[in-house]
Each structure stands twice: as structure tokens, then as C-alpha cells.
Structure 1
Amino acid sequence: MSQYQIAVIVGSLRKDSFNRKLATALAKLGPQDFSFKQLEIGDLPLYNQDEDANQADSVKRLKSELAASQGLLFVTPEYNRSMPGVLKNALDNASRPYGQNAWAGKPAGVIGTSIGAIGTALAQQHLRNVLAYLDVPTLAQPEAFIHAKEGLFDEAGNIGAGSKEFLQNWMDQYAAWVKKHA
């Protein structure tokens, strides 16, 4: 069993999501003492404070998986210059009711890819603002706004040669961050 279990939250529900592919490929760059589990967020109900006392089973499952993790990895696209609604909904559901924030204290990394030239810069900025409020210590540097273009992934779905050194460095910094704060 790995010493560090990382909860991976992909902000896209699309089956062939670039960000899901990125999350899978990044996990292969992680240290041997890390394991990565992509958490399901597509089945969560829309957050409603009226349900705080009786959270859905899917919310309880998410909170349990977060509690079992030593770190968080957010891999998100950018929708309309912000984070996807499904990701914000997951953040809201698992942070409630007040005083029972499942995200708090978990060291995190934020990364994402998009076909746009600025990658996911604004989505990441908005996500970082929310994570700061939720008491999630988040790796600040290096930032990684990945332009999804030909060659990002090789035929096997691994990080392509042109991006591997950069993303390996990002993963090494992320792993050190988790080890420092877990």
C-alpha cells in the first residue's frame, strides 16, 4: 500500500476529456510511494443547504474518500473563463455542513489543460480562491497551464516527449508539497 493516497478530482465529466487523460498520465509520473484515485463527482446532487442534515450517499462517499487521502490533485478544464460547475458543486457538497469541511488541511495541486492558448489559467485562479477559503494548502509554484495540442500525449496515453520534463518537474514539486504538508 502506498504511503500517500491522493484523491484526484477531475473537473470534467466528458468520457474523452483531455483533463481525465492528463490526470491518468500524471499519476504515472508520481513517486512510488504515491497512489492516485480519481474520485467520482458526476453523481453528486446539486448542493442544497436544506440537505446538510441528510446528505446523499454520493456526498458521504466523496467525504469518506477525501478523509482517507493524504493529498488532493485537481485537474480541471476551463469553462467560460472559470471552473466547471460540477467541480464547484463537489467543493460545496464536501465542505458542508458548516464545520464539517472534508477538504480542510489537505495539501493540493492544481493543474489543467485546454485547447485555448492560456490553458486553464482563469479556472485555476478561481479554484485557488475557493481552496484558500476551504483551508486547502495549495502548491503555488510551479504553475502549469497546459495547452492541449498534438504531442501532449503519446500513443500509449503517457505524457509526450515535448512536455514530459516540464510535467515531471511539476509532479516532483507537487509530491514534495504533499510530503511537507500531509
Structure 2
Amino acid sequence: MSIKIAAFSGSLRKDSYTTKLIKAFKHLSPDGVTVEIIDISQLPLLNQDLEADLPTAVRDLHQSIENADAIILATPEYNRSYSPVLKNALDWGSRPQGQNKWDKKPAVVLGCTPYNLGAFGAVQHLRQVLVYLNMQPVQQPEFYLAGAADKFDGQGNLIDEQTKKLITDLWNKFMDLINK
């Protein structure tokens, strides 16, 4: 059985640690799991006026969510919260009203930052939103990657063995949730 995961990076920066982290999750994914990194950079800002004729980028987002068995959400931390581009994607995925594509999707939340707290504030804030969207996030272990600048090599590969172990442990819990 093949499992499809849609992964969303809350950072649009070209050399984003958050996107590198998602790529590391993809690289360490279990057999039978396909991880597709979804580009959210072309989504328009949420505007209810656009709901009558959804833009192509929004329709593509909806299709990506519908096709996925589960979701990875990775975020940097901005002012103790998750990123606005991720918020925009979450909002579009729940619109138009009554068409929440996120409903009941198993999810894993990743926090990533070059600083010391590992995006704790962002992850906790994001988890609050997932409750409202009726998603089913992995509760434990939580995942915070602090000091991200030292965890990847010049080609963007994860080089930290402890982080690799944390990712593998989280994949095991995520797979348990997906298979329920």
C-alpha cells in the first residue's frame, strides 16, 4: 500500500532551513511513502471575493490536499507564531466555507529555526489552528529543530545524526497515526 504525504514549508526563502528539513523528512521516509513538497508561493492572499471563481493555484492546493493521505506542516518562527504563507495556505485549504479540505487529515508539525527555542511558539500556535481545522496531529513526540544552521551541509543535506534519529522516531509515530 502506498501512502501519499503532502508537505508544506512555511518558508519561501531559496535557502530555507524549513524546506531543507522537509527534504530530510522526505529522504528518511519509510518504504511505501511518497512525500510531495507542495509549492504555496503562488497562492494569492486570502480574499473571499476570489471564492466564486477559485484561482488555479487554490484549486491546485485543494487537489494536493485531497490526494494526500496525510500532511506535513513545517514552519519557521516569526514573532512567536508560524509563518504568514503557511497561514494563507491553511486558510485557502479550508475555503470556501463548508469545504475544509484539511478535515480529519493526519498531520505532523515541525518547527525549525537557527535560534535556540526551535520554533516552540510557532509550533504551539499552529497546533491551535489544527484543532479548529479538525486535523489529527501527532501529539508526541513534538519536533523542534533549534540551531538549524549547523544541522545541514552546504548542499542542504541533513548531517546531524541526533536529528535523523528524531525524524525516524517521529515517522514511526506518524505512520501509526496514518494507519489507524
Same-fold status (TM-score > 0.5): yes
Looking at structure 1, the residues matched to 130 and 109 of structure 2 have their Cα atoms a distance apart, in angstroms, of 10
**Residue 66 (structure 2) pairs with residue 40 (structure 1):** no
Output aligned runs, 1:49-68, within 5 Å.
Answer: 49-68=48-67
Return the offset for 1:28: 1.5
Would the alpha carbon gap of residues 149 and 88 (structure 1) be closer, same or farther in structure 2, given more than 3 Å must change? Answer: closer
Identical pairs, percent: 38
What stretches of structure 1 move > 3 A for 4+ residues in a row?
A: none
Q: What residue identity is the alignment partner of 1:167? A: I
Q: Which amino acid aligns with 2:100?
A: N
* Residues 30, 175 of structure 1: 8 Å contact kept: no
> Are residues 151 and 117 of structure 1, via their aligned partners in 2, closer, same or farther at CA, if it must alter by over 3 Å?
closer
Number of matched pairs? 179
- Output the CA distance in 1 between the equivalents of 2:140 and 2:92: 28
User: What is the CA deviation profile of residues 67-106 of structure 1, one whole-angstrom value per residue up to 9, with x for unaligned ones?
Assistant: 0000000111011110111110111111101111111111
TM-score (norm 2): 0.93
SS at match of 1:8: strand
Structure 2, unpaired ranges of 5+: none
1:174 aligned residue: 174
- Deviations along 1:100-159, one digit per CA (max 9) or x if unpaired, are 111111100001210121111111111111111011011110011111245423566034
Kindly report which structure 2 residues correspond to 1:67-82, keeping only aligned pairs within 5 A, or say none. 67-82=66-81
Q: Give the TM-score normalised by structure 1.
A: 0.92
Runs (5+) with no aligned partner, structure 1: none
What residue is the counterpart of 2:87 in the other structure? 88
- The answer to whether the Cα contact below 8 Å between 2:112 and 2:148 also exists between their aligned partners in 1 is no
